[in-house]
Amino acid sequence: MALSKQKISPCLWFDGKAEEAAKFYTSIFPNSKIVHTARYTEVGQEQHGQKAGSVMTVAFELEGQSFLGLNAGPMFKFTEAVSFIVYCESQAEVDRYWNALTADGGQPSQCGWLKDKFGLSWQVTPTKLLEMVTSSDTAKAGRAMGAMMQMQKIDIAKIEAAYEGR
């Protein structure tokens, strides 16, 4: 059984919460599912401080992207050095993902970044923002970038107003 359709797929290291995280993420993103759950046996469980029978890995898909959650103990934590970008087409979509990913202990950060309740970093990014900050009109792009730098959750209307000089 192939657990991933992709040649390269991220593996996310959790301290005992891989299954909870997979359920959380698949509840947020449409076209998502848990594909397979594997459990520790007597062999290997002691290396990661887990009990035989507990969840070892959870293979899941978010919008067709394959992920693997690994329960392997507290040795490693997520950092902002790795994040996942959620491209959004509307303010309603930005609001929905932002609110869902910051729920139950998530933390907002700057410029559309946040950490979810598991400490994983996300960028909730309107595609319109990317168009504006990469515009060939450097004055407009600079105003859009300046407005974005003042925000936590991105407000598309405010970025557009800054872009247009209003």
**What are the pLDDT digits (tens) for 38-51?**
998 877 666 666 78
- Checking if the pLDDT of 27 tops 80, the result is yes
CATH of the domain at 52: 3.30.720.100
pLDDT tens digits for range 109-149: 999 999 999 999 999 999 999 999 999 999 999 999 999 99
102 and 61 together in one domain: no
- Which of 29, 51, 71 is the last residue in one of the domains? 71
Q: How far is CA 31 from CA 24, 61, 64, 106, in A?
A: 14, 8, 7, 23
pLDDT reported for residue 52: 81
Are both 97 and 143 inside the same structural domain?
yes
Q: Are residues 24 and 44 in the same domain?
A: yes
Phi and psi angles of residue 158, each rounded to the nearest 5 degrees, phi first: -70, -35
How much is the average pLDDT of 151-166?
97
Quote the pLDDT of residue 50: 72
Q: Is residue 6 part of a domain?
A: no
User: 118, 78 in Cβ contact below 8 A?
Assistant: yes
Number of domains in the chain: 2
Are 92 and 158 found together in one domain?
yes
Considering the domain architecture, whether residues 117 and 55 belong to the same structural domain is answered as no
How many other C-beta atoms are found inside a 10 Å radius of the C-beta of residue 6? 13
87 and 66, same domain (yes or no): no
> Quick one: 122 and 144 in the same domain?
yes
Instruction: Verify that 87 and 144 share a domain, yes or no.
Output: yes
Angle at 122 between CA 166 and CA 23, to 5 degrees: 130
- What is the domain range of residue 31? 11-71
- 116 shares a domain with 146: yes
In a domain, 5, yes or no: no
Confidence of residue 1 (pLDDT cuts 50, 70, 90): very low
| Average predicted confidence (pLDDT) for the chain | 94
Q: Are residues 148 and 128 in the same domain?
A: yes
130 and 60 assigned to the same domain: no
- Calculate the CA 157 to chain-centre distance: 24
pLDDT tens-digit series, residues 72-115:
889 999 999 999 999 999 999 999 999 999 999 999 999 999 99
